């Protein structure tokens, strides 16, 4: 080629980054051992696996194939290390994290080349994006280690954390996991993905270099079936943090159900990329390149569904095809290529299979005219048009460079189409009309929304989704809570005050696993006896004397603001503390729960109202409860046999609690982040949606109020199953709710058998979260059932909570469970 040719074609020359230093580094060290207690140890199996370079299909190095014996050793090392690391002052932990960040930067070139070689992604991405973000994550969390004591008072580390990561961003996912875990004082056993362990092993060297105490970080390589499963099941692991596919996430939810292990899941996505007709189309084209061809589309939040306003669709598709024709695919170490290789032959097959299915189902496929290199695992950028919204390729995560496009006419249609997915991870909106974009953003069901940008990340802004995209956030302050628990939870059950519950009839479940304390009988002397005398002498619950028999009042269920008969037509008896029947409540069933969920959905306008209005209604509920204070106290005495003074305290605390959440309603607010870009990230605290609430047996009124008030304060609507043994306080609230201007359907109450009803709620596809305060086994059942649509759960595992105590019974924990953070990225500038 002569100078004139080059001038004409403007063809790039090759600009390869040298692989030699990385290859030399590998050669010196392999076969790699496992990194346990800051030492390299041989795997128990004596076996090793090849790590392949996807661009050449040739082996790069051998890594250890660990098994459960090795996992045991790593967990034991982490446990021992935790005893001191968990007590290490935040400032000391901050120094270590800071040192790690510095060392990442010092080794950035080697890390970038290693990552490109091992994963097949372009050096441009590893050098300019992955590795800088890794360093940023450690710096950011060094700061949280420093501030933990003052900014997260009352919280403690969880303990030993098992972390499992995928291959698409090997070192970045490691950083997202390890940085917050160490910052909060936990120790770690990390399993890299089978195909991409090499940068994690380089990271292990950095751990040694900075002198992190042995056992704080352990890295165990190998197969999912050997290492991943052993880690998930390990009884001495306190939390599992997982990033990967939805199927595996679901199975981890099931395996850990009832174990009390904390769990965070970052799963798949099928994110919409919405283009309105006033968008800047040239920016859109570059946005699409970043959305779906970045990292060969192997990105959980890839903008894989292009939704275009109808009138500009043809123009945009034409522009896109022109751009695709110019994309360069090839050696990942070439600095001038756009796309590298697919990580493995298995992934390549899967992409080919889904693309073939797309064609078979009738969509139009378009690929550039040039051919891919043939010596590695390459797949060209691919665009589908004429895609039906229900087509496989429109619904299933392809995890490759494949874009499907659909059209819409109106903003409402755009939102409906965008939300037509099981996933809730990310979305981007393109329009020059900022009012339109900011109106659309909150309506998109996703954890992250990018306005006129895409695939932006920063440690300050939490990342994560909901439903089949998992739960929990990584980054931001919200991400820290995945790695801590309230300090009071460690207090043993016996030191927590539980109300004294005299023996309940055998047919009824007792309170959630807590044993009534021995002096129950002495405590329910006095006023209780007086109260019973009153009733037996013809006084009603309020103490008025009457010669007439009382009018029977059988509470029904409370659905859509109305008292409705249970579908079953059955009632169940409610007993007093002596086993005498004091009333009946409706025996709710599956159908009642379905109706309640439907009503709760229909009331979603509650979230759109002003926080001022919601606060007013909570105050009003408190006011109406206060009017009937004595009546409620007597009802508690009647059901539980507790002393009147204790019952009165429960009512008083319930009223105070309503005031607390009325106060919080317009004060538990989001944040504005300033990541390194010209713009802002709006971290909005959004309601979960419909929350199922199974109330504890103890504190029949306070347990109910303590859970319902924060949920509705934050804009959720609820389906509540009251205390099974003592449901009358909740049913007495019907009138309180009816007279407090609460819109119909915001609170729905179904009485009956708590565990059976909870199960129905937990399985329900239209419920977004399930709270359960009951037995240990019931908790396990809820976590199992939740795996269907991957709803978030909050369960007690049968541990008691002192509902009277303001630390355990109210506050931030409840508000956090009622909300999730949505980060909306809004860049500035023309």
List the one residue from 33, 170, 268, 401 that touches ligand NAD (CB under 6 A).
268
DSSP notation for 538-565: TB-TT--B-SSPPPP----EEETTEEE-
Contacts 24+ apart (CB under 8 A), 244-253: 244/164, 244/165, 244/166, 244/193, 245/166, 246/397, 246/423, 246/468, 246/469, 246/470, 246/790, 248/224, 249/470, 249/790, 250/787, 250/790, 253/783, 253/784, 253/786, 253/787, 253/790
Tell which positions 288-307 bind ligand NAD, by CB under 6 A.
300
Candidate ranges 221-229, 501-509, 686-694, 799-807; the one touching ligand NAD (CB under 6 A): 221-229
CA atoms 390, 392, 394, 397: torsion sign: positive
190: its two tokens:
């990390």
To 10 degrees, what angle do helices 702-713 and 611-627 make?
160
Using CB under 6 A, which of 124, 191, 634, 635 touches ligand NAD?
191
Name the residue nearer to ligand NAD (CB basis): 35 or 167. 167
400 contacts 351 by C-beta, under 8 angstroms: yes
Identify the bridge partners of residue 459 per DSSP, sorted by sequence position: none
Binding residue for Mn ion (CB under 5 A) from 70, 118, 266, 732? 118
Helix axes 90-106, 108-119, angle to 10 degrees: 70
Residue 567 interacts, among ligand NAD, Mn ion, none and using kind-specific CB cut-offs from 5 to 8 Å, with none
Q: Please identify which residue in 60, 267, 427, 658 interacts with ligand NAD, judged by CB under 6 A.
A: 267
300 is catalytic: yes
Closest CB 21 distance from ligand NAD, rounded Å = 27
Q: What is the radius of gyration, based on Cα positions, of the chain?
A: 29
Contact 253, 246 (CB under 8 A): no
How many whole angstroms separate alpha carbon 715 and alpha carbon 711? 7
- Measured from the CB atom, is 243 or 501 closer to ligand NAD? 243
Residue whose beta carbon is closest to ligand NAD:
228
Instruction: Name the minimum Å distance from CB 220 to ligand NAD.
Output: 11
Which alpha helices (H) appear in 485-526, and where do they start and end? 520-523
164 binds ligand NAD (CB under 6 A): yes
Q: Is 51 in the site for Mn ion (CB under 5 A)?
A: yes
232 vs 815, beta carbon nearer ligand NAD: 232
Nearer to Mn ion by Cβ, of 121 and 445: the residue is 121
Which DSSP category does 377 fall into?
-
Q: What six digits make up the tokens of 617?
A: 């209604």
Interacting positions 189-218 with Mn ion (CB under 5 A): 195
Pick one of 118, 397, 482, 763: the residue that binds ligand NAD (CB under 6 A).
397
Closer residue to ligand NAD in complex, CB, 53/119:
119
- Binding segment (CB under 6 A) for ligand NAD, from list 49-57, 187-195, 379-387, 708-716: 187-195
Closest C-alpha to 455, from 414, 426, 423, 422:
426
Q: Which is nearer to Mn ion, 195 or 203 (CB)?
A: 195
Cβ neighbours around 324 below 10 Å, total: 24
Total binding residues toward ligand NAD, as defined by CB under 6 A: 26
Please identify which residue in the block is written with the tokens 């704080």: 216
Which of 266, 397, 813, 817 is an active site residue? Answer: 266
Q: Exposure of 618 by Cβ count < 10 A (0-12 exposed, 13-18 middle, 19+ buried)?
A: buried
What is the C-alpha separation between 397 and 173, in angstroms, rounded? Answer: 19
* 269/692 with CB nearer ligand NAD: 269
| Residue 478 binds ligand NAD, judged by CB under 6 A | no
Q: Is 266 in the site for ligand NAD (CB under 6 A)?
A: yes
Q: Under the criterion CB under 6 A, does residue 165 sit at the interface with ligand NAD?
A: yes
Q: Choose, from 300, 372, 453, 733, the residue flagged as catalytic.
A: 300
Q: Does 244 bind ligand NAD (CB under 6 A)?
A: yes
Closest by Cα among 500, 810, 818, 498 to 655 = 810
- Binding at 51: pick from Mn ion, ligand NAD, none (beta carbon under 5-8 Å per type): Mn ion
Q: How is residue 376 annotated by DSSP?
A: S
700 contact choice in Mn ion, ligand NAD, none (CB below 5 to 8 Å, kind-dependent): none
Query: Given candidates 100, 101, 112, 193, which one binds ligand NAD under the rule CB under 6 A?
Result: 193
Residues of this chain, 399-418, that bind ligand NAD according to CB under 6 A: 399
Contacting residues toward ligand NAD, per CB under 6 A: 164-168, 191, 193-194, 224, 228-229, 232, 243-245, 248, 251-252, 266-269, 300, 397, 399, 425
Q: Point out the residues that are catalytic.
A: 266, 300
Contacting residues toward Mn ion, per CB under 5 A: 51-52, 118, 195
């Amino acid at each position: 080629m002569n100078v004139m040719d080059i001038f004409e074609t403007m063809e790039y020359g090759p600009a390869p980054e040298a692989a030699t230093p990385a290859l030399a580094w590998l050669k010196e060290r392999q076969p790699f051992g496992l990194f346990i207690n800051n030492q390299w140890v041989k795997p128990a199996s004596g076996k090793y696996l090849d790590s392949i370079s996807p661009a050449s299909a040739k082996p790069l190095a051998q890594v250890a194939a660990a098994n459960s014996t090795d996992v045991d050793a790593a967990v034991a090392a982490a446990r021992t290390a935790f005893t001191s690391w968990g007590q290490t002052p935040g400032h000391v932990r901050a120094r270590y994290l800071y040192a790690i960040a510095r060392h990442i930067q010092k080794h950035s070139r080697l890390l970038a080349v290693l990552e490109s070689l091992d994963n097949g992604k372009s050096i441009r991405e590893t050098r300019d994006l992955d590795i800088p973000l890794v360093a940023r994550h450690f710096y950011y969390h060094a700061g949280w280690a420093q501030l933990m004591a003052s900014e997260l008072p009352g919280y403690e580390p969880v303990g030993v954390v098992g972390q499992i990561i995928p291959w698409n961003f090997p070192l970045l996912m490691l950083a997202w996991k390890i940085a917050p875990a160490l910052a909060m004082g936990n120790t770690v056993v990390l399993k890299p993905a089978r195909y991409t362990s090499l940068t994690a092993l380089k990271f292990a060297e950095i751990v040694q270099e900075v002198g992190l105490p042995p056992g704080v970080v352990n890295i165990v390589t190998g197969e999912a079936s050997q290492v991943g499963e052993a880690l998930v099941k390990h009884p001495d692991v306190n939390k599992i943090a997982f990033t990967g596919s939805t199927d595996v996430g679901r199975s981890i939810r099931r395996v850990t159900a009832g174990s009390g292990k904390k769990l965070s899941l970052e799963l798949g996505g099928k994110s919409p990329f919405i283009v309105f007709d006033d968008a800047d189309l040239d920016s859109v084209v570059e946005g699409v390149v970043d959305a779906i061809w970045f990292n060969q589309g192997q990105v959980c939040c890839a903008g894989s569904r292009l939704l275009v306003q109808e009138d500009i669709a043809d123009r945009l598709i034409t522009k896109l095809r022109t751009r695709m024709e110019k994309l360069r695919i090839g050696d990942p170490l070439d600095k001038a290529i756009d796309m590298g290789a697919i990580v493995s032959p298995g992934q390549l097959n899967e992409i080919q299979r889904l693309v073939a299915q797309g064609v078979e189902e009738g969509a139009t496929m378009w690929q550039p005219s040039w051919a891919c290199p043939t010596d590695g695992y390459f797949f060209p950028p691919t665009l589908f048009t004429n895609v039906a919204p229900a087509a496989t390729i429109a619904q299933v995560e392809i995890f490759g460079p494949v874009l499907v496009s659909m059209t819409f006419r109106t903003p409402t249609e755009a939102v409906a189409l965008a939300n037509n997915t099981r996933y809730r991870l990310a979305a981007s909106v393109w329009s020059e009309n900022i009012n339109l974009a900011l109106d659309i953003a909150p309506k998109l069901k996703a954890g992250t929304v990018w306005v006129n940008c895409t695939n932006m990340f920063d440690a300050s802004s939490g990342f994560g989704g909901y439903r089949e995209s998992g739960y929990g956030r990584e980054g931001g302050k919200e991400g820290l809570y995945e790695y801590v628990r309230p300090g009071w939870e460690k207090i043993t059950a016996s030191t927590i005050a539980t109300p004294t519950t005299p023996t309940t009839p055998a047919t009824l479940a007792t309170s959630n696993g807590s044993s009534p304390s021995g002096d129950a009988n002495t405590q329910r002397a006095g006023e209780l006896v007086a109260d019973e005398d009153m009733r037996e002498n013809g006084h009603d619950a309020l103490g008025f004397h009457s010669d007439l028999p009382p009018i029977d009042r059988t509470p029904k269920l409370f659905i859509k603001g109305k008292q409705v008969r249970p579908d079953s037509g059955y009632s169940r008896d409610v007993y007093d503390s002596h086993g005498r029947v004091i009333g009946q409540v409706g025996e709710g069933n599956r159908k009642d729960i379905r109706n309640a969920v439907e009503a709760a959905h229909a009331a979603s306008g509650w979230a759109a109202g002003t926080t001022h209005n919601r606060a007013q209604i909570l105050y009003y509920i408190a006011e109406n409860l206060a009017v009937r204070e004595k009546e409620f106290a007597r009802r508690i005495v009647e059901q539980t046999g507790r002393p009147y003074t204790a019952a009165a305290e429960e009512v008083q605390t319930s009223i105070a609690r309503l005031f607390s959440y009325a106060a919080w309603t317009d004060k538990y607010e989001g944040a504005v982040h300033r990541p390194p870009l010209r713009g802002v990230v709006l971290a909005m605290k959004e309601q979960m949606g419909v929350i199922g609430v199974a109330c504890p047996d103890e504190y029949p009124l306070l347990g109910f109020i303590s859970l319902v008030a924060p949920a509705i304060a934050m804009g959720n609507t609820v389906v509540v199953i009251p205390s099974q043994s003592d449901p009358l306080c909740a049913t007495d609230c019907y009138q309180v709710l009816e007279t407090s201007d609460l819109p119909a359907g915001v609170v729905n109450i179904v009485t009956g058998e708590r565990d059976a009803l909870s199960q129905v709620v937990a399985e329900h596809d239209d419920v977004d979260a399930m709270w359960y305060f009951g037995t240990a086994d019931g908790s396990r059942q809820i976590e199992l059932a939740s795996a269907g649509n991957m709803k978030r759960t909050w369960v007690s595992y049968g541990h008691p909570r002192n509902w009277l105590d303001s630390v355990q019974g109210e506050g931030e924990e409840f508000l956090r469970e009622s909300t999730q953070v949505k980060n909306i990225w809004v860049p500035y500038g023309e």
